[in-house]
Structure 1
């Protein structure tokens, strides 16, 4: 069955590239012999590849923007290592006072809040009644230790929908820590 689908995908691509007069000339030769209709899958293959490539390009652009900020703030972190094998949707960078100084487009897609709305606010605006006080306390304690950590917190989207958000937080430093970066992804919705 796999070979048949692969052959059909190749045939779909071939037929799609033909001029109308060429297609008309070979149409009778390619009429299916069985009565089952199978879906056109070549576009699905292309679409899936296209969206995968776009996601990789978005990640590359996000990493490059973070590297530009690193140059501006003279951060010494190894960003290639920091981002290696990380899965994330959103990136949030805060200063030492927890004020957001930068977010990526993924933040808007994940939370529904615009970049401009988030800037200069603390991430607490994402929290709500189901956000655990204990989790918030653990996050504060781990930030005070100035080491990378992972935590899951219940946040709220702009439309008030709660979701579990995995945070991977890393201190950013020049001589001392000046900022924190959070790589975030939604791990479950309610």
Structure 2
């Protein structure tokens, strides 16, 4: 019974780590071998802890990647302060012309668009019918001021689902601004 429980927990961990599309592709081949229900015990608590730990590790990895890019482009920003107490799902780095040069995996999870699809495009490809012209103009004006700012915009996922996205945008500079970084999180869906 102990081995069976351990195997089921391993399967649960594996299945919980799958993307929805991957799970849907294999769910037909998963058949219970025993119709008895086993108690959850503390698995839900562990799963929540495990998920938050993985999110922290992903964020640390993303921050380290941004620091590597900073070294490459000789950015003088204080990244410890920039990321301090920031909650984000996605990171988008654009060049001075607002062409995307890098996004993290969180961007794909949040929007459904792959990294390769996003590269060399302007973030405006995420905008759509409900994206306010006033908001777009306000963001353009704030970018032109070349100072950090935050705003909320309605963007669209790959499946055309609109969501409110909180943006925190910071200019990245060496002698002058060369890039911008946006820390993004979904604040509401429709």
**TM-score, with length taken from structure 2:** 0.79
Within 2, Cα distance between the matches of 1:132 and 1:45?
41
Deviations 1:61-88 (A, max 9, x none): 0000000000000000011110010011
SS in 2 for 1:150: strand
Question: Superposition pairs for residues 169-184 of structure 1, below 5 Å?
Answer: 169-184=169-184
2:120 is the alignment partner of 1:146: no
Aligned to 1:164: 164
2:182 is the alignment partner of 1:185: no
Aligned to 1:130: 130
Aligned to 1:63: 63
Instruction: List alignment gaps of at least 5 residues for structure 1.
Output: 1-15, 18-38
Aligned to 2:97: 97
Aligned to 1:30: none
Instruction: List alignment gaps of at least 5 residues for structure 2.
Output: 7-38
Corresponding pairs, count = 155
SS in 1 for 2:43: helix
Aligned to 2:85: 85
Aligned to 1:110: 110
Within 2, Cα distance between the matches of 1:158 and 1:52?
25
Within 2, Cα distance between the matches of 1:40 and 1:104?
34
Within 1, Cα distance between the matches of 2:40 and 2:105?
33
Within 1, Cα distance between the matches of 2:40 and 2:95?
51
1:41, distance to aligned residue in structure 2 (A): 3.2
SS in 1 for 2:128: coil
Deviations 1:164-187 (A, max 9, x none): 000000000001000000000000
Q: What is the RMSD of the two structures over their aligned residues, measured on CA atoms?
A: 1.4
Within 2, Cα distance between the matches of 1:178 and 1:167?
19
SS in 1 for 2:94: strand
Larger Rg: 1
- Ranges of 4+ aligned residues in structure 1 off by more than 6 Å: none
Question: Superposition pairs for residues 12-27 of structure 1, below 5 Å?
Answer: none
Deviations 1:126-164 (A, max 9, x none): 000100000000001000100000010000000000000
**TM-score, with length taken from structure 1:** 0.79
